[in-house]
Structure 1
Amino acid sequence: MTEHKIYSMSFGKVYPLYIQKVERKGKTKEEVDQIIFWLTGYDDQELKQIIDEEKDFRTFFKDAPQLNPNRELIKGVICGIRVEEIEEPLMQEIRYMDKLIDELAKGKKMEKILRNSES
C-alpha cells in the first residue's frame, strides 16, 4: 500500500495554511497554536523548533509530548470522511487537527473546540 503524501510533508509548510484559513474568518494564529498545544502537548518553543527543523507530520505526531486523551471526543466529517471512523492512526491524528482548525474557521467557540470529558 502506498503511503499518504501528507505523512512526509513538512508540518511547517502546512502550518501557515492553517493560519491563513482561520485569519480569513477573523480568527488568529494564537488560536491555531492553542488548538495545536491542546491536541499534542507541544508548547510555543517546541512548535517553533518543529517548524524550523522542517519535521514531517509523521514525526510531528510521533514526538508529540502528550496527545490529549479527549481528542477521541472529536467527531464529525472532514474531507468527506467521518474522523471517528478513520482506521489508520496517523491519518486520524492529522484529521483530528484538520477538524479542529475547520471548527475554528467556522466560528465555533474555543471551549467547544477543546473538548472536555464532561462535554
Structure 2
Amino acid sequence: MHDNQPRTITPDTLPEVITRYLTAHRAHDAATAIAAFTREATVIDDGNTYEGNKAIEGWLGRSATEFTYTIHLANAQQTDATHYIATHHLEGNFPGGTIDLRYQFALRGNLIERLVIEP
C-alpha cells in the first residue's frame, strides 16, 4: 500500500544532497548550493518560478541579501523514495518577522530536481 502520506523522519536522515544544499544556503555559499541541483532544476519561491541553474543562482544571490534572519530546521518528512519536506522556522527583519516554511524537495539521482518553498 502506498498512499503518499508524508512520514516524519529525523532531520539527520535527510538525503546528503538536501543537507548539503540547506547548509550551503544558510552559509550564503551559492556555488555549493547550486551544485546540489540538476542543470534543468526548478525552484518555486514566493510565487516566482526559477528554471535552470542560471535563474536559480540569481534567486540564491537575491534571497541571501534581501533580509537578515535566523533559520532552524524544525521538522523533516519523507513522502516517497524521492520526495522530502524540510520545515524551517525563520525569524528576522522580513514582513511578519516569523514564519514556518516548507521546503518540498524532489530528487533525481543524487541531485535536487525541484524545490517548492511555501508556508
Q: TM-score, normalised to structure 1's length?
A: 0.32
Higher strand share: 2
Answer 1 or 2: higher relative contact order, Cα 8 Å, separation at least 6.
1
Q: Normalized against structure 2, the TM-score is what?
A: 0.32
Structure showing the higher helix proportion among its residues? 1
